[in-house]
Chain A
């Protein structure tokens, strides 16, 4: 464990993995007859080269922070929550119900209520798999995956039959009241007299995501509950011996995890779409797994990894907009990043560990 200094573990290894992934991506781009240098330039230009680019990069980052934190918290209890996608969808439903059917005087109050709604629905969606795991031993990976499909079905039903305004062919809810529009980076800049884009991209929920990072850190490393969760994750038998209830920790860890995933909906549903649409999560629940893996389940790591994936998402969108590089290639690049930083982690780690060992001996 302590072969390497900490900085090598948290910075050097992910960076080298990332570099390898990008190098192979470049080869793939070359193989289909495009210019990788130009592609990278376009991605950088499109994602961090303008206010609009930053807006979308941070918008995606916000999603990935929430889902990344969600997966991390469960990871610490050694629970592999693959259900972020479903929990975030249900969170969206919670946000939509709160905003559609209850009157709120101001967007700040509405946002607070939407956070409660989203987190509650997400947490409840995680509760059933958690309970099944703790009580019946049904493996959480299987149940959370299955719950993603149930969530998709439920959402589709709600949108097609209950929430869809009469006469509309689009399976989506009605628009929320305009008074609930969240201030976006673009609208704030415009108010300040700075020329900005008009998109509904990054909004105040980004700040809530940053706050969530801090709170998760406090929870995991500065509270008794966090200690219990981590102890349970390290060794269930030891935790039990120390008087920690596996049922309680499994359920609480999953409730927090599901709640964080559900919170993502305040960004996508309340902030961007301003109504509930199908597929509002856009795969962020799954990206959260990669973000948590890459971020070593630490809030700072999650933040950085989320930023990277936000960049890849937005850069990829720009790439498919302005070049003939097929959009599928972006998925290849993202998959390579996940593969190298997650699954092939040891490939990079072991040589570096050996290197540090050699250095120490020498």
Chain B
């Protein structure tokens, strides 16, 4: 199907102008895979949305190993893809070296800051969004014990956990937040079985709302939560539809918007650091028909109020990555 699209796109481009297909955008997915129902899939969604709306054509590649990063970026840049969007902090170092060699190509990196004149760095205030879903978790919890399941134990995921814990404590200072990380290797991003195990272990400790920030592993967390009849919170993409009525909400990290905007801006896009937070809808919580009954009016009012206060600076949510520590846990 993708091949078909490439052919059709190439044919269309040839019909319009011979050079047009040369500036097709490209997206590079990090280890973990395109269809993780989460981070990478959000990026894919943004690229697809752009393709459907503009009828354009784009190139995509999934990373399989560390050594492929440089190769993929250089190959895409040399074959004329522009802009080249990549998901994940792990590209940071490589991009820093590759970008100066291709000054005419625009690069966009998500989740990392790379200081080069032709690079746009998109970073998200995940702690703010996590704070809001933490509040919702505390309000929805009957046991006063909520859970957090992270993917790989890295500072970025601790940032999610820290924001979440702060949100929980802001509603119920006596609440217990049980935190687990899936693993210490990149495999932790794609281990639904381990996600199920950890969720069941947390349930046995009294958890009745669990927040998964674990890429593909989160699919298992949400599954186990639905099976055991507790609430779960999805991440990155809107995952409410995975188990209607069982997923309290999803902490939306609009990676899709970042990719879509980059593709729309096209070659020569404005570079620099883009911080996507609550103020510019870069993060937020998801409400749709699948979880409308779970989100009470009171919950919504409180969360929206907190959101406004975070934007205005009245509530300061601590960012774990600013000092590698968390005031609450």
State the Cβ distance, A279 to closest chain B Cβ, in Å.
5
State the Cβ distance, A298 to closest chain B Cβ, in Å.
27
Q: Which chain B residues in 42-77 approach chain A with CB under 8 Å?
A: 61-62, 64-68, 70-72, 74-75
When distances are taken between beta carbons in the complex, the residues of chain A under 8 Å from B31 are: 279
When distances are taken between beta carbons in the complex, the residues of chain B under 8 Å from A59 are: 67
Q: Which chain B residues in 99-144 approach chain A with CB under 8 Å?
A: 101, 111-112
A281→B229 CA distance, assembly (Å): 41
- Interface-facing stretch out of B149-157, B204-212, B216-224, B252-260: B149-157
> Once the chains bind, are A317 and B112 in contact (CB under 8 Å)?
no
Interface residues of A (CB under 8 A from B): 34, 52, 56, 59-60, 152-153, 156-157, 160, 167, 169-172, 175, 197-201, 268, 272-273, 275, 277-280, 282-283, 313, 316-317, 320-321, 323-324, 327, 330
A313→B67 CA distance, assembly (Å): 11
> Once the chains bind, are B93 and A175 in contact (CB under 8 Å)?
yes
When distances are taken between beta carbons in the complex, the residues of chain B under 8 Å from A156 are: 152-153, 184-185
A316→B72 CA distance, assembly (Å): 12
A352→B238 CA distance, assembly (Å): 58
In the A-B complex, the 8 residue pairs with the closest CB atoms: A156-B184, A282-B65, A324-B2, A324-B3, A152-B185, A170-B89, A153-B184, A169-B155
State the Cβ distance, B319 to closest chain A Cβ, in Å.
11
Q: Which residue of A lies closest to B88 (CB)?
A: A170
> Once the chains bind, are B67 and A170 in contact (CB under 8 Å)?
no
> Once the chains bind, are B66 and A273 in contact (CB under 8 Å)?
yes
B1 at the interface (CB under 8 A from A): yes
Of the residues B70, B112, B184, contact of A152 by C-beta under 8 Å: B184
When distances are taken between beta carbons in the complex, the residues of chain B under 8 Å from A320 are: 61-62, 64
> Once the chains bind, are A198 and B65 in contact (CB under 8 Å)?
no
> Once the chains bind, are B90 and A170 in contact (CB under 8 Å)?
yes
A167→B159 CA distance, assembly (Å): 13
When distances are taken between beta carbons in the complex, the residues of chain B under 8 Å from A201 are: 67, 71
Q: Which residue of A lies closest to B111 (CB)?
A: A169
B321 at the interface (CB under 8 A from A): yes
A59→B66 CA distance, assembly (Å): 13
Of the residues A175, A273, A317, contact of B64 by C-beta under 8 Å: A317
> Once the chains bind, are A198 and B184 in contact (CB under 8 Å)?
no
> Once the chains bind, are A157 and B71 in contact (CB under 8 Å)?
no
When distances are taken between beta carbons in the complex, the residues of chain A under 8 Å from B3 are: 34, 323-324
> Once the chains bind, are A279 and B66 in contact (CB under 8 Å)?
yes
State the Cβ distance, A165 to closest chain B Cβ, in Å.
11
A86→B101 CA distance, assembly (Å): 35
State the Cβ distance, A120 to closest chain B Cβ, in Å.
23
State the Cβ distance, B110 to closest chain A Cβ, in Å.
12
> Once the chains bind, are B74 and A198 in contact (CB under 8 Å)?
yes
When distances are taken between beta carbons in the complex, the residues of chain A under 8 Å from B156 are: 169
A14→B75 CA distance, assembly (Å): 33
When distances are taken between beta carbons in the complex, the residues of chain A under 8 Å from B111 are: 169
> Once the chains bind, are A330 and B154 in contact (CB under 8 Å)?
no
B186 at the interface (CB under 8 A from A): yes
> Once the chains bind, are B154 and A169 in contact (CB under 8 Å)?
yes
A135→B262 CA distance, assembly (Å): 61
When distances are taken between beta carbons in the complex, the residues of chain B under 8 Å from A316 are: 64
Of the residues A172, A278, A282, A327, contact of B93 by C-beta under 8 Å: A172
When distances are taken between beta carbons in the complex, the residues of chain B under 8 Å from A170 are: 89-90, 92-93, 112
> Once the chains bind, are B93 and A56 in contact (CB under 8 Å)?
no
A321→B81 CA distance, assembly (Å): 12
